[in-house]
Amino acid sequence: MVATSPAPTATLKRTVGRRMLLVFVVGDILGAGIYALTGKVAAEVGGAIWIPFLLAFGLAALTATAYAELVSRYPRAAGAAMYAHRAFGRPFVTFLVAFAVLMSGITSASAAARAFGGDYLAELVTVPTLVAAWVFVLLIAAVNAVGISESVRVNLVLTAIEVTGLVIILVIGARAFLAGEGDPGRAMTLTTDGPVWMALLGGTALAFYALLGFEDSVNLAEECRQPRRDFPRALFAGIAIAGVIYLAVAFTTSMLVDTTTLAESTGPLLEVVRVAGLVFPPWLFALIALVAVSNTALINMIMASRVVYGMSREGIVPRWLGRVDRRRQTPWVAILFTTVIALTLVSTGDLSGLADTTVLLLLLVFAVVNVAVLVLRRESTADDAQVDGDAPRGFRAPTWAPVLGAVVSLVLASPLTGRDADVYARAGLLLGIGVVLYVVNRLLAGPARAADDDAVTVPPDAR
């Protein structure tokens, strides 16, 4: 049984081209993770912090193949939630995936808000962390509500600034290496308190937070001019660019700053600037770091609001959550909804807990997405029909890539990484809230909703 959703009165505007999408992907990956978590990775593996980043890059590339194929088939805004919906046809599974994606974006933005009010801001001005985080979230919501073109243009400016900060680190590293300064050997040394494999798993799980963001761009598929043609190219190019930058920054950081100092710092790249032979004001670099954190939060909140919008289009959540402002053509109700949740999380969680919860939730989602792409290959080729004038055929991942991606995602989500128990408790509580909401909605909706849930909801223009 196939139910057709009524077309909404307003739709999202297709204004994002390939270059803008590439900037979005790079800007979403580069950000709070590399600026804040490098020292935490050093605490796990010692000086060879580039190894966990390399492993995390490999996992991101594996899962990206699944996303690229799915966007080619279904260029819609709902992302992982829609893929699970089409692959498994189970409303409960769809709801949990959607809820996990939604909460991962908001927890990531909330972690960025907490980071914004931390050591980097303290280099410039003394403001209570919670006050700074609240104001920060409200400003991000305002930018998001103005419009997607304006939001992505702001992202372009912020990306240029945060990339400049990383280029400064690379220039410092290149100068030090050529001058024989620092200790390159330290960057090749693994130092762990336990088994090396466990330290590498733990470090990779932390480093993976810095590479999160490539999946957010899926939720802009409905606002891309030609998603089937442009998305795979922009996605893989963005991951490659970010991966090379991260590896170079990780090597430079370890070469110039001793592991103990890195492990104890919440602003590890600021430590590089302080020991550099070049004269560069630490306060200016702190300002650049704040911009990078802001970019991470902006794109995560854009993603979260588009997930809510996409779920409403698919009939998974109430349709009023997908209301679009006719003038700005942005999902204003979804933006308001996600902002309220973010403000609550900022008030009740800390930076490390929110960041680790984000990783755990997304690893579970990635496992589902990798399985979904294999399941959906059995569908009729009718879904490959031409959509919105785009090319009918798109990217197809090699079968081994999503299989390996699913396995590695589950391994990194397991206790083998040494992840604290309270992270699992927090993630379990968030998913538990989702289960309660799902059950309550079914009970209140009654038999009519139950019958509707047995149908596979397909938007008219995707058939």
User: Mind listing the pLDDT tens digit for each residue in 383-414?
Assistant: 444 444 444 457 888 889 999 999 999 998 98
State the average pLDDT over residues 234-240: 89
Instruction: Write out the two tokens for 175.
Output: 């100068």
Q: What is the pTM of this model?
A: 0.78
Residues in the chain: 463
Q: Domain spanning 16-381+394-462 has what CATH number?
A: 1.20.1740.10
State the average pLDDT over residues 297-312: 78
Residue 402 is predicted with a pLDDT of: 92
Report pLDDT digits (tens) over 332-364. 888 888 898 888 888 877 777 788 888 899 999
Residue 85 is predicted with a pLDDT of: 83
Instruction: Write out the two tokens for 456.
Output: 């596979």
Q: Using pLDDT thresholds of 50, 70 and 90, give the confidence band for residue 152.
A: low
Of residues 376 and 296, the one with the higher pLDDT is 376
For the chain, what are the domain ranges?
Answer: 16-381+394-462
The CB density around residue 257, as the number of other CB atoms within 10 Å, is 25
10 has a pLDDT exceeding 60:
no
**Closest by alpha carbon to 72, among 383, 380, 461, 309?**
383
User: How much of the chain exceeds pLDDT 90, in percent?
Assistant: 11
Residue 7 is predicted with a pLDDT of: 44
Residue 13 is predicted with a pLDDT of: 61
State the average pLDDT over residues 65-79: 80
User: How much of the chain exceeds pLDDT 70, in percent?
Assistant: 82
Name the CA radius of gyration of the chain, rounded.
Answer: 21
Task: Count CA within 13 A, CB hemisphere, residue 431.
Answer: 20
> How far is 300 from 154, CA to CA, in rounded Å?
14
**Closest by alpha carbon to 376, among 78, 87, 89, 84?**
87
With a CB cutoff of 8 Å and minimum separation 6, the contacts of 86 are 74, 372, 376, 379, 456
